[in-house]
Structure 1
């Protein structure tokens, strides 16, 4: 196992975690919806969904949540990919998404025109995955629904300008426009998360609070940067400039689990991504994560996930350079 590299005393540990957020398989659909209309959106497991309203307004209905009025220039995100309804009114009858015809422009982009002859709502729907453990960890701490309503506020200028640029690219469909829109969608998702972190009270608990803590955040950053290092409680406490007992108690209090258990779980989550996204040998993955033998790595993996690492590779998974698509009869999000 290798020695850890030093972590600067005054780092932005939460910002560092956000830097690790990598979206993959972004798919988007540009829609023109005329009242009366209602679309029943199915759940997308392990995905994040986002609606951006560029003209008009709509209603979002999610089970267990009050109806949300989404106005022009607003962004609504469902971090857990939960099924929901978007409609011209809360009482509107709905049509399942995959029963609505679309103009399939590319593997990443569809155009949809749907509804009656009334008031128009133009919206862009995005579906994406986070392909780094940091993103998956963050998603677990986000609420079921996140709304950014800043069109009339000074800080909303980032949203206005990005939405206008997205709308321009969607209308023109110039060469490279799909790539531009995909990157803009990534920016919107990250910025929405940043806005929630700045304003959301739930950001003061768990992993997010720990990243903000000057002592625990420092050790989390060290583990994230160097998961292969020969970490012990003593070494982590030294990085945190705390006593061993004080560090252990504070870490468990903030994170809800001991530091070494968190480290093992982080390593195994990274291992699972490596197994799905790469062709690296089992021993190569084990060594990348600080295990000197394949047997020790396999035992740790099975303790965390209940299955051997080889079974994850046999099942297959997403490819690192895959593309998100909604195609065919089922039109499910699939990057295989």
Structure 2
């Protein structure tokens, strides 16, 4: 399993591509910010404008554009720049989708929307920028849009399962495409992965966080002195090597608590902790919940 696969697994994503909008004439749709929540808008037809909280100028959107908001930043979609509404949006059930319609039967602007949540400590999502703008052609996502349109136009048994399964494909392709861009604005772990001196160290830790990592071993992998390694981790990731190992262990533990039937003791040992007591203290400090509370939440 590669780094991105691991980080997506630790992120514990849940949600679906569950909304289709068909908008005509004057329209205004508002989305408020939510914590540990992301939104993706996929424009399938027409042109519109995206107003993001804190940004002065609106962004013009056109067919095949993708707006990826990893932190669900507050924003508004409108038919013209600076339009404040109101708009009468009719909401109806349409097969596997919730359809939001404004105006007549021939929309000027159409899009699909994905809503998803993720673990509050996700190294992947917490280190992505507030706004990522891509195009379907750049992200090799055109087949995803084709499937969504087909399922929306012709509801068939199993449609909900198909479009929900597409969420993982959609997010993986979006993130992979963005990470490959030279001008990608990344923080923390994702920024550290771009440093060739740290890449192998980070990769090894993510692959086997339960291993008894010693600073000498990490220095050997990076071919750096102890002082150099600690300095680079603090510069690029904002944490020490020790804290990074601990964070990844706890994220693995969080994923196992939610998605396995293992006991807390077994999870503690499988994630590199020496005792259930030590694990419990570290977990509560990191998540502000005990392992049992986290599992039940």
Alignment TM-score, normalising by the size of structure 1: 0.76
Residue 250 (structure 2) pairs with residue 268 (structure 1): yes
2:16 corresponds to which residue? 26
Give 1:142's aligned residue. Answer: 128
In structure 1, distance between residues paired with 2:27 and 2:289: 45
Q: Is residue 102 of structure 2 the alignment partner of residue 111 of structure 1?
A: no
Q: Do the aligned partners of residues 73 and 224 (structure 1) sit closer, same or farther apart at CA in structure 2, a change above 3 Å counting?
A: same
Partner of 1:10: none
2:160 to 159, 162, 178: 178
Q: Deviations over 1:1-60 (max 9, x none)?
A: xxxxxxxxxxxxxx9322232442224212211121111123332121011111112211
Q: Quick one: structure 1 residues 45 and 200, their matched pair in 2 at CA, closer, same or farther if it must change by over 3 Å?
A: farther
Distance in 2 of aligned mates of 1:194 and 1:27: 19
Q: Deviations over 1:208-258 (max 9, x none)?
A: 232133331111111111111111111222222333333223222221211
1:285 aligns with 2:267: yes
| TM-score normalised to structure 2 length | 0.85
Deviates more, 1:20-29 or 1:280-289: 20-29
Structure 2 unaligned regions, length at least 5: none
SS in 1 for 2:210: coil
- TM-aligned CA distance change 1:118 to 1:100, over 3 Å: closer
Extract unaligned runs of 5+ from structure 1: 1-14, 318-336
Structure 1 pair 221–132 and aligned structure 2 pair: CA distance change class (3 A)? farther
Q: Which residue of 2 aligns with 1:74?
A: 65
- Return the alpha-carbon distance in structure 2 between the equivalents of residues 303 and 32 of structure 1: 46
Classify 1:239/1:200 alpha carbon distance in 2 versus 1 (closer, same or farther; 3 Å). Answer: closer
Q: Deviations over 1:170-192 (max 9, x none)?
A: 21222333333334343333222
Instruction: Quote how far apart the aligned CAs of 1:205 are.
Output: 5.2
Number of residues of Structure 1 aligned to a counterpart in Structure 2:
292
Assess if the C-alpha contact under 8 Å between 1:36 and 1:118 holds in 2: no
